[in-house]
């Protein structure tokens, strides 16, 4: 368990990390997995990510690379993309998080929010992702059923400033200082592909060393792309851990198959072993978990 600061020293947040020690472990390296949860309450294991600020935040760490995909890099684009869709309940979860973080954003919602909005934000504050998405699916956040601002919600200066601060890849912002593999499905129904691609391009213009992998097969959805990334991620990280440098600069390529065993020179054996690991193959003597 660790404790860190949130908004200030008197508002800490905590989390728990589990370290799994596999058989024949190499002790000079650590693979970390930050799985999404997309929820506000601590009981739901909310998401945490620090890819773009690893250098100033923790310069002592010798990070060899990051792999991530389906990345929401532009909050306003995301909200407009899922508005009135089955996934639109995520908007409420996001607005509650913003409200709790930015006092000016909270003030606007209190001034212009309808009673329906207050109840929805309270529900999002106390419930996990699936409950929130199920209750508020297909909502239209720009309707005056939620705020008196309606379509002008993002024109409000306080809202615009807070939402704009969530954009990854801004000119004056940090960017990943180590190699990355960033992936996204062209048919992602939750996170817009173009926003992620734009962030990658902006990072590249600042000196990023990375690859962008596009999944272009039919129905390359958010979840399908996650599965497709599994083997490339393992192979890519293995190369970084083994000391193989990524050619400097940026490159982009596509994958048009749902699961392709020979991606990144993966073999069927690699795929089977990866699946066995994910299904709970023993990771240490007597299932040791430190």
Measured distance CA(173)–CA(153) in Å, rounded: 25
Indicate the domain borders of the chain.
Answer: 32-73+167-282, 78-164
> What pLDDT sits at residue 290?
40
CATH number of 78-164: 1.10.260.130
| DSSP bridge pairs for 67 | 181
Measured distance CA(234)–CA(244) in Å, rounded: 14
Measured distance CA(226)–CA(203) in Å, rounded: 22
Enumerate helices (H) and strands (E) in the chain, giving the number of each.
10, 6
Measured distance CA(225)–CA(219) in Å, rounded: 9
Say which residues have a Cβ less than 8 Å from residue 128's Cβ, sequence separation at least 6. Answer: 37, 39, 41, 43, 44
Q: Give the pTM.
A: 0.79
> What pLDDT sits at residue 38?
58
| DSSP bridge pairs for 20 | 289
User: pLDDT of the chain along its 290 residues, tens only?
Assistant: 666 665 556 667 666 777 777 777 777 888 877 766 556 676 675 554 555 556 666 778 788 999 999 999 999 999 999 999 999 999 999 999 899 889 999 999 999 998 889 999 999 999 988 899 999 999 999 999 999 999 999 999 999 999 998 899 888 888 888 999 999 999 999 999 999 999 999 999 999 999 999 999 988 999 999 988 988 898 899 899 989 999 999 999 998 876 665 554 555 666 666 667 666 666 555 554 44
* Residues 168, 74 contacting (CB under 8 angstroms): yes
Decide: helix, strand or coil at residue 112.
helix
Q: What share of the chain is helix, strand, coil (3-state, %, to 5)?
A: 45, 10, 45
Measured distance CA(120)–CA(164) in Å, rounded: 23
């Amino acid at each position: 368990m660790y404790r860190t600061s949130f908004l200030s020293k008197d508002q800490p947040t905590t989390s728990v990390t589990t370290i799994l020690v596999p058989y024949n472990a190499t002790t000079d390296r650590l693979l970390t997995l930050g799985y999404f949860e997309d929820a506000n309450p601590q009981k739901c294991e909310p998401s945490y990510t620090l890819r773009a600020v690893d250098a100033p935040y923790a310069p002592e760490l010798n990070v060899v690379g990051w792999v991530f995909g389906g990345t929401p890099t532009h909050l306003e684009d995301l909200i407009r993309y899922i508005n009135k869709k089955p996934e639109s309940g995520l908007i409420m979860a996001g607005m509650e998080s913003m409200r709790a973080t930015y006092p000016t954003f909270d003030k606007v919602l209190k001034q212009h929010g309808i009673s329906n909005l207050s109840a929805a934000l309270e529900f999002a504050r106390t419930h996990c992702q699936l409950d929130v998405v199920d209750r508020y699916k297909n909502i239209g956040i720009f309707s005056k059923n939620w705020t008196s601002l309606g379509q002008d919600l993002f024109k409000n200066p306080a809202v615009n400033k807070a939402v704009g601060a969530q954009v990854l890849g801004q000119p004056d912002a940090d960017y990943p200082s180590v190699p990355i593999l960033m992936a996204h499905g062209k048919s992602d129904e939750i996170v817009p592909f173009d926003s992620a691609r734009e962030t990658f391009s902006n990072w590249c213009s600042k000196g990023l060393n990375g690859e962008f992998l596009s999944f272009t097969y039919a129905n390359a959805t958010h979840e399908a792309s996650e599965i497709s990334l599994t083997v490339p991620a393992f192979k890519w990280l293995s190369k970084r851990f083994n000391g193989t440098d990524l050619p400097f600069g940026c490159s982009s390529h596509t994958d048009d198959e749902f699961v392709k065993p020979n991606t990144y020179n993966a073999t069927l054996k690699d795929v089977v072993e990866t699946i066995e690991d994910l299904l709970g193959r023993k990771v240490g003597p007597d299932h040791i978990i430190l």
